[in-house]
Structure 1
Amino acid sequence: MASALAAVLLLVSGCEGLGQDDTSAGAGPAAPAGRAVSPLENPDGTKPGLAPVTTDADKAAARKLIEELATKGRGPRTGYERDEFGYAWMDTADGVPLARNGCDTRNDLIRRDGRNLRFRAGSDCVVIAMTLDDPYTGTTIAWRKRQASEVQIDHVVPLSYSWQMGSSRWPESKREQFANDVLNLIPVEGRANSAKGDSGPASWLPPNTRIRCAYAVRFAQVAVKYEVPVTEPDKRMMLRQCGG
């Protein structure tokens, strides 16, 4: 029953599992330096992690960004399917960083955010082990590619949420871009991601309170880039996380 529920939640959110927690340490080349970068310093999403937004100046900048968001009521999920956003995880979505580099989006994200990476024999793309500092829970996960539950790729602005806010009318190419844009994707603990489902910030925030403003900033960055409105309660909650 638990596995069936997890599968349903993954379908709703448009996110996918990566692998199983493992306590043994991985060996191999480290991910790029500069871990846990603030979203204000990472506007294209190519740098790893989600560092807290802490200074008064940065929180003011965060509120200014969030204030740009248009608002509307959330529409129905009628017609939503994950396949409307292309297959997961394609390397051929146009208009996003890291596309067409010979490595699919999922492995690009593991390489971006993971530490102590180990690759499948003969590959410089497919990661089979890593250490992940999960921003949502503030925990560290030692991961092995054996099961698809302990680490999942979260769409910060969920695919279903975007569908209800207007992406149902986008061309397929834009939906594929949205689903594979590294700005909108973070590897996180599977249980936290499953709890999120397709919620907006008014209904779900990361358990790690230190990064809630950063999460709101990233949600806003994606929404601004793709001109996705948010609900009024979501906008109020995002501003509250950044001192508004």
Structure 2
Amino acid sequence: MTIHWSAYRRARRRSRQAWAVLSVLILGIVFVVGWFFTAGQFAIAEPRVNGPSEVPVLDPDWMKPVVPVQPVPVGSAARALEQLPVKGRAPKTDYDRSAFGQAWFDADHNGCDTRNDILRRDLTGELFTEGSECKVISGDFHEPYTGSMVSFRRGSESSMAVQIDHVVALADSWQKGAQQLTKQQRQNLANDPLNLIAADGSANQEKGAGDAATWLPGNKAFRCHYVARQISVKAAYRLWVTQPEKDAMKRVLDSCPWQQTIMAK
């Protein structure tokens, strides 16, 4: 009887264990099915990152760096922000685009003007006019400010759909230290690939001369890179920030404390 009773207890124990495992499996299946039919199917369908999270500075095969006033500080973007002077805006009354030299000057002396350099850098599948390795006539790209796919087609009206944005707007830089630079330094600032990104025309017009306190890209995945790039440009050209601008930049960088400054590479 003792042997039969022990075998019976072992059988009951195995049965309880099997039922426990089966219950866990059933609960897991119920949870997964419930999650899928509430939020899960949408989480699977939606991409986690909307568009690119960064844009390169140089293509070293055919682009050369532009000489800034001083090197971009290496390391944390948040730390570089703390090193920028904080001041109010200088008057804008005497701002003129010509203070930054010829528009789309070939600042790196690679034989192509800056606008076409940036189009070639940022677009994919780009085509050039016949007999040219500079003048881009078409291409596509994952636009960073909106996160949408955008096509560029050169034309009297269609070209405006893709514009080359100064990450630190020239009018903004004029009010925050650029007046104190030489004309050559301002021309470099206006043509430095670090400060230039191909962008959706409407988004660029909406930004205008705004800083981080008044405008940020709608594509939130790009904001850390965008703010770090503004900080890098301002550090490289000895520009300052206003207190509201600094506060806005800090709020963005709080979500990405690992974000580094942007270097020409």
1:234 to partner: Cα distance: 0.6
Instruction: Choose which of 120, 124, 128 in structure 2 pairs with 1:119.
Output: 128
2:219 counterpart residue number? 208
Aligned amino acid, residue 189 of structure 2: F
- In the alignment, structure 1 residue 130 sits paired with structure 2 residue 139: yes
Amino acid at match of 1:46: L
Residue 89, structure 1, aligned to residue 104, structure 2: yes
1:103-150 C-alpha deviation (Å, 9 max, x unpaired): 000000011110011000000110000002110000111110012321
Residue in 1 that maps onto 2:18: none
Q: 8 Å contact 1:151–1:188 — kept in the other structure?
A: yes
**Would you say 1:225 and 2:236 are equivalent positions?**
yes
Q: Answer whether contact 2:53 2:225 (CA < 8 A) is retained.
A: no
Q: CA deviation at 1:64?
A: 1.9
8 Å CA contact 1:156–1:218 kept in 2: the answer is: yes
Residue 61 of structure 1, CA deviation: 2.6
Q: Structure 1 counterpart of 2:208, which letter?
A: G
Note the C-alpha offset of 1:36: 5.1
**Is 1:170 equivalent to 2:170 in the alignment?**
no
Offset of residue 47 of structure 1:
5.1
Once the two structures are superposed, the pairs formed by residues 54-73 of structure 1 within 5 Å of their partners are: 61-73=76-88
* 1:157-180 deviations in Å (ceiling 9; x for gaps): 110011111212221101101000
* Partner residue, 1:78: 93
Q: Secondary structure at the match of 2:76?
A: helix
TM superposition shift of 1:231: 0.6
Residue in structure 2 matched with residue 103 of structure 1 by the alignment: 112
User: What is the TM-score normalised by the length of structure 1?
Assistant: 0.73
Aligned partner of 1:46 in structure 2 is: 58
- For 1:68 and 1:212, how far apart are their aligned partners in 2? 20
Does the Cα contact within 8 Å between 2:53 and 2:222 map onto a contact in 1? no
When you count helix as a share of all residues, which structure comes out higher?
2
Question: TM-score when scaled to structure 2?
Answer: 0.68
Distance 1:233-1:222 versus aligned 2 partners, 3 A rule? same
> What is the match of residue 6 of structure 1?
none
* Residue-by-residue CA offset, 1:58-113 (whole Å, 9 max, x unaligned): xx93322222221110111121111111121111x3xxxxx101100000001111
Which 4+ residue blocks in structure 1 deviate beyond 3 angstroms? 35-39
1:239 corresponds to which letter in structure 2?
A: K
Task: Tell me, yes or no, if the aligned pair for 2:52 and 2:222 is still in contact at 8 Å.
Answer: no
Letter paired with 1:101: N
Partner Cα separation in structure 1 for residue 201 and residue 174 of structure 2 = 23
Aligned to 1:52: none
Select the structure of larger CA radius of gyration: 2
